[in-house]
Structure 1
Amino acid sequence: MTDRWEAAAEAQIRAAQDRGEFDNLPGMGKPLPGRNTPYDESWWIKSFLEREKLPGDLLLPTPLQLRRRIEQLPDEVRYLPTEESVRAYVGELNAQVVAWLRNPTGPRIAVRPANADEAVQQWRAMRAAPAPAAGPQPDLADAPPCRRRARWRFWRRRDR
């Protein structure tokens, strides 16, 4: 049984070679990537992140992701149009922090909710500050939208 199976597979491979389906494949004639580098146990994770162009902080535990988002808060709210939208964004972030504090998972790392008033003050200061003279002023209509990170809880059903 297995001999017939192998023979059929080999026949299909030979027929595909004759049709030229294996010609001009990407990487043809090039050495294998990473051939002379030392072995890394997480090579497949790194190659997946690189291939899919995903940020590396997706691998961080939840408290570190939350702390990083709090640190990057001024940059994330910079292009929001109104004070209410800044407060809403900080409120959503604080809701995630409180949810983690109620049921902590991962390493025990201190995470404090962000202060909405400080975020609004920083937002006002950035809006009032003159743009640097070296480069053109960014147009708020062309600004990238504020990133909202989706919770990767695929096991929960969303009723929205």
Structure 2
Amino acid sequence: MVERPRYESPVERAIREAQERGEFDDLPGAGKPLRVENTDDPMWWVRQLVEREQLDFTGALPPAVALRKEAATFPESLADLRTEESVRAVLEDFNRRVRRDRLRPPESHLPPLLAPTVDVDELVEGWRALRAASQAADVDPPVTSGEARPRRRWWRRRR
């Protein structure tokens, strides 16, 4: 039988011509097998890209999921705040965003997902405990050597 000429699409032609010019020769990972852990996952390449490039897709999450992830970091994420008023302001803003998210119409193709509000007083207590623990760890240990040397001023050290 006579073999019919094969139709070459414009995309296939562009790839073939680029290969002939050598444009794919020195790419990183050339000749190495793809690492695929889960062959049943159709999004394996996206997960590897996110892991390799250390991308943050928090902004692409549905609002309720992003709020749940944010709530999971409390009270540790509040440790850098200096005053109780600022901690309360952050937590009240979080609760306000949760209430606003609950007023949005649900997406039709997904079951409704709600983020819980947080107990401000309970988390402020947790913040106080974290703050006290970090301040106790920051206290300098007492000098245990025989005698403490007096500190010399910087201009006297030059001699």
* Same fold per superposition (TM over 0.5): yes
TM bin (shorter chain): 0.5 to 0.7
2:91 partner amino acid: V
* Partner-residue secondary structure (3-state), 1:73: coil
Q: Give the corresponding residue for 1:112.
A: 116
Q: Give the corresponding residue for 2:129.
A: 125
Q: Post-superposition shift, 1:11?
A: 5.7
CA distance, structure 1, for counterparts of residue 72 and residue 60 of structure 2: 18
Q: Post-superposition shift, 1:43?
A: 2.1
**Offset from partner CA, 1:65-111 (integer Å, 9 cap, x none):** 32332232111101112222211211221111101222253533454
CA distance, structure 2, for counterparts of residue 12 and residue 49 of structure 1: 28
Residue 78 and residue 11 in structure 1: after superposition, are their counterparts in 2 closer, same or farther (change >3 A)? closer
* Partner-residue secondary structure (3-state), 1:40: coil
For normalisation by structure 2, the TM-score amounts to 0.58
Residue 64 and residue 38 in structure 1: after superposition, are their counterparts in 2 closer, same or farther (change >3 A)? same
What is the percentage of aligned positions where both structures have the same residue?
36
Q: Give the corresponding residue for 1:30.
A: 32
2:93 partner amino acid: E
Contact preservation (8 Å) 1:63, 1:107: no
Residue 39 and residue 96 in structure 1: after superposition, are their counterparts in 2 closer, same or farther (change >3 A)? same
Which structure 1 residue ranges, 4+ long, deviate > 4 Å from structure 2? 8-13, 55-61
Larger Rg: 2
1:84 partner amino acid: E
**Offset from partner CA, 1:90-148 (integer Å, 9 cap, x none):** 12211111012222535334543212222222111111123399xxxxxxxxxxxxxxx
Residue 109 and residue 83 in structure 1: after superposition, are their counterparts in 2 closer, same or farther (change >3 A)? same
Tell me the number of residue pairs that the alignment of Structure 1 and Structure 2 aligns.
125
Contact preservation (8 Å) 1:94, 1:113: yes
For normalisation by structure 1, the TM-score amounts to 0.58
Give ranges in structure 2 of 5+ residues lacking alignment. 1-6, 140-159
CA distance, structure 1, for counterparts of residue 125 and residue 63 of structure 2: 27
Query: Cα RMSD between the aligned structures?
Result: 3.5
